Structure 1
């Protein structure tokens, strides 16, 4: 087992057991997955993606046959998906805040979004 730097021992405790390291690795994986989802959500909010959604996706014949031809309904559904993704991201931030820095109130208020 590799020696931990002093700042890691101070921040995450001095025990250094295998269980503690496993928990840290799992948390790092969860944070990386959440960051990837947030970057994808951020990129989907660009003007280019909005234009692509309005011109290509919503006007496609397959979309009209499967769902609806009502543009306002389809945009409402797309916005609902974005809001659901944002809600999921806020839930992840709340869980990470609770697990990492529960003493700080600013880390645990994302559940109010």
Structure 2
């Protein structure tokens, strides 16, 4: 069964997928090789090909959040427990037993 001629032309224009190509076709993710395989099954990294990103000096840069100043702080936080923080596992089990929880 084959697609119609109109559909065949449309399929030719689309990107090739791994299911449409030959049995050993690997599409990859455009990262490129950063080394080469050895004949013993290992991989040797070529450090000239490894990407390095240089971050500019941000010591004098004041970062601000992407939140407007008129937004109020949230007040729907967890109720503080005996431990002083959000409910942890021990607090949950204690409260569950107090409210009549059974196994």
Bigger helix share = 1
- TM above 0.5, yes or no, is no
TM-score by length of 1: 0.21
TM-score by length of 2: 0.22
Greater RCO structure (CA 8 Å; 6+ sep): 1
Bigger strand share = 2
Determine which structure has more spread, i.e. the larger CA radius of gyration: 2
